[in-house]
């Protein structure tokens, strides 16, 4: 089988350039195009530190119209991911989406579009295998612990809060945990936001500091005991085996798939 020709959207960003490096080291994938609205016209190889000799282009639709892209990988930002995904799917091209920030309504719309166009899309809020296990373990613990809080830690350039991973984790817990409002009924925030964001009666806290990459603790509490499930991505390479697997698998699918775990 010939190599899958990949277009990386957001190729100059922290994740996008890591994907470019991962493709260069991978078997079965080749970088065909690099899209970013910064550095247009420059060589992506110079930016990502690879041997690729591909000029960065600014318009994703124009790249897809060239007709030689087998799969798009998108790591841009929450403001553009909806439009980008629509553009790619409408042209019948499979997509792996790492960008976080889809709303529930947008996910439903994308599912319908995949069905209509008979094309695959993978949206994974976290591509690290350890993070997928953390979410699975959190779901298991939620059967036995009815009180939980999530603390997620990211670098201070992250634009969306709470993180996509924390929202995915919260969704898994919500399915299992008996819904109720946690904490003291009379508790009062002396400074607004002190108790974090509310999700189905439990709290999500977002820390943004230089030094962090992507980390999360899911803390369950009960009488006389606390269970903490923690995952740390020490660098962005931790996400790459998942992204490469996602590309290879999503081209075989014809549906919108939420979560890398569905492909493992």
Of 33 and 124, which CB lies nearer to ligand NAD in the complex structure? 124
Of the candidates 57, 85, 100, 216, which one interacts with ligand NAD according to CB under 6 A? 100
Of the candidates 50, 57, 87, 99, which one interacts with ligand NAD according to CB under 6 A? 99
Closest distance of CB 23 from ligand NAD, Å: 15
Is 158 an annotated catalytic residue? yes
Closest distance of CB 225 from ligand NAD, Å: 31
Of 36 and 149, which CB lies nearer to ligand NAD in the complex structure? 36
What residues between 6 and 45 interact with ligand NAD by CB under 6 A? 9-10, 12-16, 35-38
Interface segment toward ligand NAD; rule CB under 6 A; list 77-85, 133-141, 197-205, 250-258: 77-85
Of the candidates 45, 55, 70, 77, which one interacts with ligand NAD according to CB under 6 A? 77
Which residues, at least 6 apart from 210, have a Cβ–Cβ distance to it below 8 Å? 155, 156
Tell me the residue nearest to ligand NAD as measured from the CB: 13
Is 252 an annotated catalytic residue? no
3-state secondary structure the chain: CCCEEEEEECCCCHHHHHHHHHHHHCCCEEEEEEECCCCCCCEHHHHHCCCCCCEEECCHHHHHHCCCCCEEEECCCCCCHHHHHHHHHHCCCCEEECCCCCCHHHHHHHHHHHHHHCCCEEECCCCCHHHHHHHHHHHHHHCCCCEEEEEEEECCCCCCCCCHHHHHHHHHHHHHCCCCCCCCCCCCCCCCCCCCEEECCEEEEEEECCCCCEEEEEEEEECCEEEEEEEEECCHHHHHHHHHHHHHHHCCCCCEEECHHHHC
Does 102 interact with ligand NAD (rule: CB under 6 A)? no
Could you give the angle at which helices 240-250 and 14-25 cross, rounded to 10 degrees? 70
What residues between 105 and 134 interact with ligand NAD by CB under 6 A? 124-127
Closest distance of CB 28 from ligand NAD, Å: 21
What residues between 155 and 194 interact with ligand NAD by CB under 6 A? 158
Does 214 interact with ligand NAD (rule: CB under 6 A)? yes
Q: Which parts of this chain interact with ligand NAD (CB under 6 A)?
A: 9-10, 12-16, 35-38, 75-78, 80, 98-101, 124-127, 158, 214, 239
Which residues are tagged catalytic? 154, 158
């Amino acid at each position: 089988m010939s190599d899958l020709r990949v277009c990386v959207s957001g190729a100059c960003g922290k994740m996008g350039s890591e994907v470019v490096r991962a493709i260069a080291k991978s078997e079965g994938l080749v970088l065909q195009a690099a899209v970013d609205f910064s550095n247009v016209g420059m060589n992506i190889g110079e930016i990502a530190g690879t041997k690729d000799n591909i000029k960065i282009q600014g318009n994703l639709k124009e790249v897809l119209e060239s007709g030689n892209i087998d799969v798009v990988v998108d790591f841009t930002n929450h403001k553009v991911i909806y439009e980008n995904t629509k553009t790619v799917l409408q042209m019948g091209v499979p997509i792996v989406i790492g960008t976080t920030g889809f709303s529930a309504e947008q996910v439903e719309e994308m599912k319908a579009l995949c069905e209509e166009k008979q094309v695959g899309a993978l949206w994974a809020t976290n591509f690290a295998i350890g993070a997928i296990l953390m979410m699975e373990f959190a779901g298991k613990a939620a059967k036995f612990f009815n009180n939980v809080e999530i603390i997620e830690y990211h670098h201070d350039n992250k634009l969306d809060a709470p993180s996509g991973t924390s929202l995915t984790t919260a969704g898994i817990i919500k399915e299992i945990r008996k819904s109720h409002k946690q904490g003291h009924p009379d508790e009062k925030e002396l400074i607004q936001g002190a108790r974090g964001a509310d999700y189905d009666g439990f709290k999500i806290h977002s820390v943004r500091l230089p030094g962090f990459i992507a980390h999360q603790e899911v803390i369950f509490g009960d009488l006389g005991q606390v269970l903490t499930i923690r995952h740390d991505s020490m660098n962005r390479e931790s996400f790459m085996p998942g992204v490469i697997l996602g590309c290879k698998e999503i081209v075989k699918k014809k549906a919108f798939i939420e979560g890398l775990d569905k492909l493992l």
